[in-house]
Structure 1
Amino acid sequence: MADFETRRIALPTGVELNVALAGDPANPPIVLLHGFPESHRTWRHQIAALARDHYVIAPDQRGFGYSARPEGVASYTPDKPVADLLALADHLGIGPFTLVGHDWGGAIAWMAALQNPQRIARLIIVNAPHPLVFQRSIFDDPAQRAASQYITAFRNPDFEQFVERIGLETFFDESFAKYTDAAKLEPEKPAYLAEWSQPGAMTAMLNWYRASAILVPAPGETPERPAWLDAPFPPVTQPTLVIWAMQDTALLPVQLDGLEALVPDLTVVRIAGAGHFVPWEKPELVNEAILEWLA
């Protein structure tokens, strides 16, 4: 386990975030954003490796881990965690920084980089789709549309009742461990269950999906195609590393198709034999890819 301190930081966005910090604040800053259903612990094998030469900042994003869980779906639209990210950087007194994101953290990282090129100097994405590529693939690729139906399930207002009925442990086994390297996950199970068992935790995590504007038609459905899918889209101007675990069953390799046209300064590292949670399924390969690219 990496050596780091955690600090609870109140932000002007109205939330308090639980933040893992490691390394010398005088070193170049790097911010790590986790996704569902995790916390800063997503990066437990990366923090120490990065902290040798960087100031590492890994928050539990709003609604996750031990950070605040504001009420209401509207509290989780993507602009809110982007604002948290920039407010956290301001609070810590850091200027331009490298931003790393996995899963939902990657979605926030793409958005933050597109909107704030003056703050985000470099971008590292780990199994998180570009917003245009993702929405387009859900419309045009039947396999990705089928794989994305979990989003519709998570948006169901009765989903919490379903989890309560089966119990958190069964949810862990059936909806999480089943889709990853269960042996590597098992030692972490108590930490996950402790995070999820806090009052309102499951609703807060699910509200990220409910607040998202991503459209997920049912398989075989033919809804009206959003015009923006075929319109010009602004490029990501930062040097960008995309790490993609090729056995991800939720976000298929089709997410890499056409990415170079949207990200001119792009490096892609494909990792075989790993699924969606590659930061801790294949940590050595993820660390190697990040450190080589940063160097």
Structure 2
Amino acid sequence: MAGFDLQRISLPTGVELDVAIAGDPTHPPIFLLHGFPESHRTWRHQIPDLARDHYVIAPDQRGFARSSKPEGVANYTPDKPVGDLLALADHLGIEHFTLVGHDWGGAIAWMAALQNPQRIARLIIVNAPHPKVFQKSLFDDPAQRKASQYITRFRDTGIDRGLVGAGLERFFASTFAQHIVGGIAGEDKAAYMDEWGQHGAMTAMLNWYRASAIAVPAPGEDAQRPVWLDAPFPPMTQPTLVIWGMKDFALLPVQLELDELVPDLTITRIEDGGHFVPWEKPEAVTAAIRDWLKQGGQGDRG
């Protein structure tokens, strides 16, 4: 199923990334960013299909799998992976591109597109919240606040010591698998065990949460509301497709309240997909991407 080359690329941002690359470099470029706790394998079903008529680039982001894992939380603030993305595009000689992101990759995609409209022509988001909508929901939506308490747990550095050996099996069964629609086993489980078992991987992956400025109040807490939530926020300038697995129990449908922030918006809901919809329901995700791109990156509002 692979259908791609996995290349090791050294970037001026100080990291080396493993990058899955497929397709003809003369075709329109499309970057695919994975989230937690994954790798380029998030897109294992989409890469060979999109490579038929696109130049596909799917990096293992810093801290994940066998890519570099710089020490310290400060190396995982969102600006760092945004910098990696743009440096990777520069390395490959790509000026403008379509950007796709899932989970944390989607968070980086939102930020990269907001800050670099001259580089990112179209945006595709898969089960990843817009920064303002997410932060607002953590203050105004009790259900989303409750569903997001795992972030506070992940920010506790004390958990890292237990995430080795049998601890990885427990993490797989108790934290990861409960968010998967349809189950997972065999070679896919083995791939996760291998990636998570790389030296420093779990700490590096969790550092993405620790470096985030998102405030996560406890249920019932009367927390101070960030001032910027009630200030104007810049709208997206790119045509944007949001694909959402509606059985996502971590990121609730409130995250789709995007109209005021994304003027050129198309939403595709996948009713029987969960948070990991790119590989839970790969045909539906690939079809949604292809249909939207065929229309020139625009379509009916969701």
**Aligned residue type for 2:51:** A
Deviations 1:113-165 (A, max 9, x none): 00000000000000000000000000000000000000000000101123248
Secondary structure in 2 aligned to 1:37? coil
Q: What is the distance in 2 between the residues matched to 1:99 and 1:59?
A: 12
Which residues in structure 2 correspond to 1:1-295 (within 5 Å)? Answer: 1-164=1-164, 167-181=167-181, 183-257=183-257, 259-295=258-294
AA at the equivalent of 1:280: W
- For 1:160 and 1:175, locate their aligned partners in 2 and report how far apart those are by CA, in whole Å: 14
Name 2:300's counterpart in structure 1: none
Task: Output the amino acid matched with 2:291.
Answer: E
Q: Percent identity?
A: 73
Question: Contact 1:184 / 1:281 at 8 angstroms: preserved in 2?
Answer: no
TM-score of the superposed pair, with normalisation by structure 2: 0.95
Gapped runs of 5+ residues in structure 2?
295-302
Q: RMSD between aligned alpha carbons? A: 1.0
SS of the counterpart of 1:255?
helix
Residue aligned with 1:17, SS: strand
Question: 1:274 and 1:213, CA in 2 relative to 1: closer, same or farther beyond 3 A?
Answer: same
User: What is the distance in 1 between the residues matched to 2:240 and 2:164?
Assistant: 40
Would you say how many aligned residue pairs link Structure 1 and Structure 2? 294
CA distance in 2, matches of 1:224, 1:20: 43
The 8 Å contact of residues 122 and 240 in structure 1, kept in 2 or not, is answered as yes
SS in 2 for 1:35: coil
Distance 1:86 1:63 in 2: 17
CA distance in 2 between partners of 1:165 and 1:23 (Å)? 37
Q: Summarize the Cα distance change of 1:109–1:185 in structure 2 as closer, same or farther, 3 Å threshold.
A: farther
Distance in 1 (CA, whole Å) between partners of 2:235 and 2:18 is 32
TM-superposition CA deviations, 1:4-45 (whole Å, max 9, x none): 000000000000000000000000000000000000000000
Aligned partners of 1:134, 1:140: CA distance in 2, in Å? 10
Unpaired stretches in structure 1, ≥5 consecutive residues = none
2:115 aligned partner, one-letter code:
Q
TM-score (norm 1): 0.98
The amino acid that maps onto 2:282 is P
Deviation, structure 1 residue 183: 3.1
How far the C-alpha of 1:175 sits from its partner, in A, is 1.0
After superposition, the Cα gap between the structure-2 partners of 1:185 and 1:252, relative to the gap in structure 1 and judged at 3 Å, is: farther
- Residues 185 and 229 from structure 1, CA distance in 2 versus in 1: closer, same or farther, beyond 3 angstroms? farther
SS of residue in 1 equivalent to 2:101: strand
With 176-185 and 213-222 compared, the bigger mean Cα shift is at 176-185
